[in-house]
A and B are shown apart, each in its own frame.
Chain A
Amino acid sequence: MKHLIDIKDLSVKEIDDLIEVAKDIINHRDNYSHKCDGKKLATLFFEPSTRTRLSFEAAMMELGGNVLGFSEASSSSVSKGETVADTIQVVGCYADIIAMRHPKEGAPYVASVKSTVPIINAGDGGHNHPTQTLTDLLTIKCEKGRLDNLTIGLCGDLKFGRTVHSLITAMARYNNIKIVLISPDELKLPEYVKKEVLEKNNIEYVETKDIEEYMSELDILYMTRVQKERFFNEADYIRLKDYYILNKDKLKVAKNDLCIMHPLPRVNEISTDVDDDPRACYFKQANYGKYIRMALILKLLEVK
């Protein structure tokens, strides 16, 4: 039995296979509408996250399966002091697969050790969110046609942004990837990610504060939100939250086939005037998220 706790749990081949299945689902949706008949997905959301939960639930429903679960810890036995291991063993009696979000980092790993059914990490604190990374990879593959030979700009909160760290980790396994790190000094990519991922894999990278400096070279521009909940000092958040605002003007020098991505939700970092630009891919990205989750559910349930 396989779980997905960390994107590194999947080999490049397994990721490529998931992407191929997701693409096939997009093109032949009817072929998959009864693949999970009679199967149940439990969505255990110990902290709220509407879009990720809905994406998982929609994915299971489109496969013909059913969903059950809770959307916040206060409506579960956790509020009575139950451990993650106990909760997971009970839910394993009722569901065939579990997607779990938890505010504490490492909780899905603890669940996977005790679980009798596959566990999918749907986000644990600021740690991992592997299905977001799979979503990003499917988006890049579908929009660019490849996962190698790419120059990727990552912009915004590179310090706390788990999606950025996971995406860098995943992309480091492909050939000829160049990374442009765009952030204010206070939100730069942590040194350990540079050393243990970029430098260890000989990935070429540059750092800049100027979003326009390398704009003309980018194949992908991955924007991120400055997250209020990561700051202890509100003044720092207010000073940094609008540091980057991508608008049509800044995109003038960008390539015609640039792919603009964002894990959503956005606040101000992408102006709404960019939404109509054909290079804006962030809503398509949310849609791809459902299809890669469908492919993942099939893989973990070993449904052919």
Chain B
Amino acid sequence: MNIDSIKNGYVIDHIKAGKAMRIYDILGLAELDCQVALITNAKSKKQGKKDIIKIDKDIPLNLDALGFIDHNITVNVVKDDIIVEKRKLNLPQRVVNVAKCTNPRCITSIEKDLDQVFNLTDKENEVYRCLYCESSLKNKE
């Protein structure tokens, strides 16, 4: 399978297989007018299989959202056909409007204009809690 290389933009690599569509949605890639390639289940020596996203445009990337979804992702920055930087991701301390609180008793369940905010409360176990009701995020995926 041939996919054109990127001239200026990003190769988001080492995405856990199956998570690329979520990233595509959260980064709003459907709104872009440039070439975007989404590759799922690519062969990977380390991971067995992985997803990759290629974006042929230098856009502002929400690295917090990417780190929240999977901090093992590598973001390769491409300039003039060359990878000039490999950005490693961290678990962000806070994410806004990346995930929704599922607690039916949370104030966000009735006030839809409120931002959905989650704070990292346990780094070791990657536990995020809702800013409002402090419920833990059950399914970060």
> Hey, which bits of chain A sit against chain B, CB under 8 A?
83-84, 102-107, 109-110, 124-127, 192, 195-196
> Mind listing 22 A-B residue pairs with CB under 8 Å?
A83-B111, A83-B113, A84-B107, A103-B105, A104-B105, A104-B110, A105-B105, A105-B107, A106-B131, A106-B132, A106-B133, A107-B107, A109-B131, A109-B132, A110-B107, A110-B111, A110-B114, A110-B132, A124-B107, A126-B105, A192-B127, A195-B122
* B8 within 8 Å of A (CB atoms): no
Q: How near does chain B come to A166, taking the closest CB pair, in angstroms?
A: 12
* B76 within 8 Å of A (CB atoms): no
Q: Is B106 in contact with A105, judged by CB distance below 8 angstroms?
A: yes
> Hey, which bits of chain B sit against chain A, CB under 8 A?
103, 105-111, 113-114, 121-122, 127, 130-136
B127 contacts which chain A residues (CB < 8 A)?
Answer: 192
**Of A103, A104, A126, most B-chain CB atoms within 10 Å:** A104
The contact of A125 among B108, B113, B133, by CB within 8 Å, is: B133
A126 contacts which chain B residues (CB < 8 A)?
Answer: 105
Closest to B112 in A: A83
B103 contacts which chain A residues (CB < 8 A)?
Answer: 105
Interface secondary structure of B, over-half rule: loop
> Contacts A83-B111, A127-B134; is A196 near B105 (CB within 8 Å)?
no
A84 contacts which chain B residues (CB < 8 A)?
Answer: 107, 111
Q: How near does chain A come to B79, taking the closest CB pair, in angstroms?
A: 41
**Of A83, A84, A105, most B-chain CB atoms within 10 Å:** A105
A104 contacts which chain B residues (CB < 8 A)?
Answer: 105-107, 109-110
Q: How far is the CA of A109 from the CA of B114 in the complex (A)?
A: 12
A196 contacts which chain B residues (CB < 8 A)?
Answer: 121-122
Q: Is B136 in contact with A105, judged by CB distance below 8 angstroms?
A: no
Q: How far is the CA of A56 from the CA of B50 in the complex (A)?
A: 58
Q: Is B122 in contact with A127, judged by CB distance below 8 angstroms?
A: no
Q: Is B106 in contact with A106, judged by CB distance below 8 angstroms?
A: yes
A192 contacts which chain B residues (CB < 8 A)?
Answer: 127, 136
Q: How near does chain B come to A289, taking the closest CB pair, in angstroms?
A: 24
A103 contacts which chain B residues (CB < 8 A)?
Answer: 105
Q: How near does chain B come to A241, taking the closest CB pair, in angstroms?
A: 22
Q: How near does chain B come to A233, taking the closest CB pair, in angstroms?
A: 17
Q: How far is the CA of A126 from the CA of B133 in the complex (A)?
A: 9
Q: How far is the CA of A185 from the CA of B103 in the complex (A)?
A: 23
> A105-B107, A110-B132 given. 17 additional CB < 8 A pairs?
A83-B113, A84-B111, A104-B106, A104-B107, A105-B105, A105-B106, A105-B132, A106-B107, A106-B108, A106-B130, A106-B133, A107-B107, A109-B131, A110-B107, A125-B133, A127-B133, A127-B134
Q: How far is the CA of A102 from the CA of B130 in the complex (A)?
A: 17
Q: Is B114 in contact with A105, judged by CB distance below 8 angstroms?
A: no
Q: How far is the CA of A196 from the CA of B136 in the complex (A)?
A: 12
B122 contacts which chain A residues (CB < 8 A)?
Answer: 195-196
Q: How far is the CA of A127 from the CA of B129 in the complex (A)?
A: 13
Closest to A190 in B: B136
Q: How near does chain B come to A223, taking the closest CB pair, in angstroms?
A: 25
Q: How far is the CA of A127 from the CA of B106 in the complex (A)?
A: 9
Closest to A108 in B: B107
B132 contacts which chain A residues (CB < 8 A)?
Answer: 105-107, 109-110
B114 contacts which chain A residues (CB < 8 A)?
Answer: 110
Q: How near does chain B come to A40, taking the closest CB pair, in angstroms?
A: 25
B135 contacts which chain A residues (CB < 8 A)?
Answer: 105
Closest to A126 in B: B105
A107 contacts which chain B residues (CB < 8 A)?
Answer: 107, 132
Q: How far is the CA of A83 from the CA of B110 in the complex (A)?
A: 9
